[in-house]
Amino acid sequence: ICKPTKDSHVAILAFPFGTHAAPLLSITRRLATASPTTLFSFFNTSQSNSSLFPSSDLPSNIRVHDVADGVPEGYVFSGRPQEAIELFLVAAPESFRKAISSAENDAGKKVTCLLTDAFFWFASDMAAEMKATWVAFWTAGPNSLSVHLYTDLIRQSAREKDGCMEETLGFISGMEKVRVKDTPEGVVFGNLDSVFSDTLHRMGLALPRANAVFINSFEEIDNTLTNNLKSEFKLYLNIGPLALLSSTSASQSVQEDPHGCLAWIKKQRTASVAYVSFGSVMTPPPGELVAIAEGLESSKVPFIWSLKEKSMVQLPKGFLERTREQGIVVPWVPQVELLKHEATGVFVTHCGWNSVLESVSGGVPMICRPFFGDQRLNGRAVEVVWEIGMTIIDGVFTKDGLEKCLDKVLVQDDGKKMKSNAKKLREQAHQAVSVNGSSVENFKVLLDAVVNILN
Ligand code: UDP
């Protein structure tokens, strides 16, 4: 039984690191526009909020709240990887509880739905206590969602197979081509007891209890995986690719182009340009940065390289001057727009989910250099499931390896096959977000799940 939506109050709980909060905000905007009588309270750390809200063009039914970042007063960072993430996660249940309760008092409306980053497994109990629904957003792809859902099973199988890294996950429907070594750290290898590994493990156990789980992808990208996840969750909704729904990337609401990349690419030949980027978190080690620069230069391929300002000093001496006519190196590019441009011929990527899906949306084949987390899984899908790209030769950048890969993808027959597969996938992605497309229909179901109050 559904009550009228005007009483509903949705609390959105964002994860303030990497490319997580921005896509959640972009979905919140769409939901808020579609349901103007519902109040949406967006909870995120002040630091992440300040990068998300440079302007104040929010629908009036979205209210933004700061939550604690979990860093104790006077705390000195030791430099451990993921330290800030762990501090945040440990404090998160309490931080969110406090902030929600004060927002409820301010608004005079009890929260009726928790719409959270899927990492927040504790939202399951929180929602039960609050008599609210729980709707979870998995910000990466279906393959990594599947790995976290079946972590216990994968661990058990790895024990039986004596930890063989080449074994495939054939016992999970849709994961037949994935090897143990492709899984993220913290599932079978790496630190299984870290706060982060534990969070993902608990998440996998909790998500089947969520009223709905949704992701930025489209069903047809992998029907077997989609059907299997549909059988595991109460509702499993693919609502993407977000990159095709508006001209926004997952990480920026406006595709700003302060460095003139679009003007530059307009002058290039069809499918000739290599676009190089490793997302918002990762920068390759200095030796690999040099190899990329040397490989690009000797290949003579026109390039756009998104490289953080602080890493530019690592480039070989004279590289920028020598390649002035060949390419540009800038600290930020309008990635979605670049990947949609016909001159882009290949994307050299770390295989973050948003990047991969944006490349699929643009029909651009990829050269993959995954580093950590779900990136190896995404790279594996690119290479052997969809056959729309290849892993960098030897797994790390070398001058010769990059040159050979660029030649393979941009010139050789292998590349033509990748390109044609990528174009087919792009077609399916476009259909999913067209009238009556699967993602459009799923968004309506999501809206219902979020704004209707269940009795
Ligand atoms: N991005 C961009 N311009 C850049 C670099 C990155 O617009 O110069 C965007 C890109 O479009 C994507 C996001 O940043 O939406 C990166 O997300 P992804 O999941 O690929 O990687 P992460 O940042 O989480 O490692």
93-108 pLDDT, tens digit per residue, is: 999 999 999 999 999 9
**What is the model's pTM?**
0.95
pLDDT, tens digit, 9 for 90 and up, residues 416-433: 999 999 999 999 999 999
The C-alpha atoms of residue 292 and residue 396 are separated, in whole angstroms, by: 10
* CA contacts within 13 A on the Cβ side of 172: 28
pLDDT, tens digit, 9 for 90 and up, residues 180-193: 999 999 999 999 99
365-388: average pLDDT: 98
The torsion angle over the Cα atoms of residues 299, 305, 307 and 313, rounded to 10 degrees, is 40
Ligand 1: does its nearest atom lie under 6 Å from the Cβ of 333?
Answer: yes
The C-alpha atoms of residue 387 and residue 409 are separated, in whole angstroms, by: 12
Work out whether the CA dihedral 215, 100, 87, 206 comes out positive or negative: negative
Residue nearest to ligand 1 atom 22, measured at CA:
279
Measured in Å, residue 44 CA sits from the centre of ligand 1 at 19
The C-alpha atoms of residue 144 and residue 149 are separated, in whole angstroms, by: 9
Q: Which residue, 339, 353, 338, 215, is CA-closest to 280?
A: 353
Ligand 1: does its nearest atom lie under 6 Å from the Cβ of 352?
Answer: yes
Q: Which atom of ligand 1 is nearest to the CA of 351?
A: 20
ipTM metric:
0.99
Angle formed by the axes of helices 195-206 and 142-149, to 10°? 90
CB 259 within 8 A of CB 309: no
Residue nearest to ligand 1 atom 15, measured at CA:
250
Ligand 1: does its nearest atom lie under 6 Å from the Cβ of 22?
Answer: no
CB 421 within 8 A of CB 363: no
Contacts of 1 (CB under 8 A, 6+ apart): 454, 455
Question: What's the pLDDT band for 247 if we cut at 50, 70, 90?
Answer: very low
DSSP string, 131-199: T-EEEEEE-S-HHHHHHHHTHHHHHHHHHHTTT-TT-B-TTSTT-TT-BGGGSPTTTSSS-TTSHHHHH
Which H or E run contains 328? strand 327-330
The encoded tokens of residue 104 equal 């409820």
Catalytic positions, written as ranges: 20, 117
The encoded tokens of residue 178 equal 């994935």
